[in-house]
């Protein structure tokens, strides 16, 4: 039995793949690896495909120096758009638009290190109104909040919190210096303690190693994360990572395949940068990935909901709220 088959059976039996085993998988033949990862996905997660959309709820002038981000106030990227937290009508319109197109999960994302208490209270009122009028799940990505604010959001109707680890703890200092890796972990733990599910992954192509990618997913696994966004760097001119080379289709497929072995029952979600892949991520959806962010991204154009729904049908997936 090959190493891939041995580790596939281990994953299917409920045993955890070790870091050393995951590192070995990174050297295995790609097609065999991806086929095995898709078999794990099919047996552990079925045909459900978790599709969500995001709205840029507060844009620009971010205090943080994340080296990939067009919204950071530290870099000149040509992004001139900036606005405060959107009002209820704007957020409600976005929720209704997406629900009408079959989207089951709607995520409100804001710039900045964290929303302040007044902004959290305002957003809670908006979320309550959305939940009254629209049948859609609400996820938020609001920065490094604490348990008290997360509890308010939970009571308002939020079910999931997103906060990306971005990379490994070792490499994170090369990505951002204005907040720490531990702050991210603390915020994810606080959200979970408040009753919310947690979503956390990272960005591939920041200059990290394969080991950094594996360490990031292992950290997420240790936190109990079942929702892993996989972003592919879209190099933004003016940012420190603006000249990085985007990942190829094959590199992207290998990432999601190994991640599937590490967390066999996860929703592995293609997120930012999917549009840079030649096949728009289709190969990843037969290599272990079973979720995606659709529609526009925060500062770059995404892939339309209609296009994604057609792709899901072609691949035999069914839109679903996975791992809920």
Per-residue model confidence as pLDDT tens digits over 91-110:
999 999 999 999 999 999 99
* Other CB atoms within 10 A of residue 7 CB: 24
Quote the pLDDT of residue 80: 67
Write down the pLDDT at residue 78. Answer: 78
| Tens of pLDDT, residues 151-179 | 999 999 999 999 999 999 999 999 999 99
Residue in this structure with the two tokens 């009571």, named with its chain if needed: 155
User: 106-131 burial, b for 16+ CB within 10 Å, e for fewer?
Assistant: bbbbbbbebbeeebbebbbebbebbb
- CATH 3.20.20.70 for the 18-319 domain, yes or no: yes
Q: How far apart are CA 82 and CA 243, in angstroms?
A: 25
What pLDDT shows up at residue 77? Answer: 82
**pLDDT tens, 265-323?**
999 999 999 999 999 999 999 999 999 999 754 444 567 899 899 999 999 999 888 87
Structural contact between residues 136 and 172, judged by C-beta atoms closer than 8 angstroms:
no
Residue appearing with tokens 């299917």: 12
DSSP 41-76: HHHHHTTEEEEEEEEEEEBS-BS---TT-TTBTTS-
pTM of the model: 0.95
Q: Give the span between the Cα atoms of 278 and 181, in whole angstroms.
A: 32
- What is the per-residue pLDDT for 235? 94
Would you kindly state where each structural domain of the chain is located, as residue ranges? 18-319
- Residue 160: the pLDDT is 97
Task: Please write the tens of the pLDDT for every residue from 5-62.
Answer: 999 999 999 999 999 999 999 999 999 999 999 999 999 999 999 999 999 999 978 9
Residue identified by tokens 């530290």 is: 74
Cα(255)–Cα(306) distance, rounded to whole angstroms? Answer: 26
Tokens standing for 167? 């990379």
Phi, psi angles (nearest 5°) of residue 140: -135, 150
DSSP 90-159: HHHHHHHHHHHTT--EEEEEE-SSB--HHHHHHHHHHHHHHHHH---EEEEE-BS--HHHHHHHHHHTEE
Question: What's the confidence (pLDDT) of residue 66?
Answer: 95
Mean pLDDT comparison of 68-72, 79-83, 199-203, highest-scoring range: 199-203
């Amino acid at each position: 039995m090959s190493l891939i088959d041995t580790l596939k059976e281990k994953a299917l039996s409920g045993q955890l793949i070790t870091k050393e085993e995951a590192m070995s998988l990174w050297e295995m033949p790609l097609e065999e690896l991806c086929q095995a990862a898709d078999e794990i996905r099919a047996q552990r997660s079925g045909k459900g495909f978790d599709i969500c959309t995001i709205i840029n709820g507060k844009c620009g002038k971010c205090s943080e120096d994340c080296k990939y981000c067009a919204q950071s106030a530290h870099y000149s990227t040509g992004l001139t758009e900036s606005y405060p937290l959107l009002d209820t009508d704007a957020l409600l319109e976005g929720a209704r638009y997406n629900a009408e197109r079959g989207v089951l999960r709607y995520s409100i994302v804001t710039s900045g290190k964290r929303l302040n208490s007044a902004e959290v209270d305002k957003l809670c009122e908006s979320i309550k109104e959305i939940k009254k009028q629209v049948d859609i799940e609400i996820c938020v990505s609001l920065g490094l909040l604490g348990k008290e604010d997360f509890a308010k959001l939970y009571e308002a109707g939020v079910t999931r919190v997103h906060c990306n680890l971005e990379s490994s703890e070792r490499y994170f200092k090369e990505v951002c210096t204005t907040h720490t890796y531990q702050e991210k972990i603390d915020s994810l733990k606080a959200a979970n303690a408040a009753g919310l599910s947690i979503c956390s992954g990272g960005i591939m192509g920041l200059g990290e190693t394969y080991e950094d990618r594996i360490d990031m997913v292992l950290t997420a696994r240790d936190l109990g994360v079942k929702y892993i966004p996989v972003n592919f760097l879209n190099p933004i001119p003016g940012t420190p990572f603006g000249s990085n080379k985007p990942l190829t289709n094959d590199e992207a497929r290998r990432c999601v395949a190994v991640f599937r072995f590490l967390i066999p029952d996860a929703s592995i979600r293609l997120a930012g940068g999917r549009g840079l892949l030649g096949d728009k991520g289709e190969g990843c959806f037969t290599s272990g990935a079973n979720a995606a962010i659709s529609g526009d991204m925060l500062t770059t154009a995404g892939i339309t909901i209609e296009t994604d729904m057609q792709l899901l049908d072609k691949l035999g997936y069914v839109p679903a709220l996975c791992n809920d």
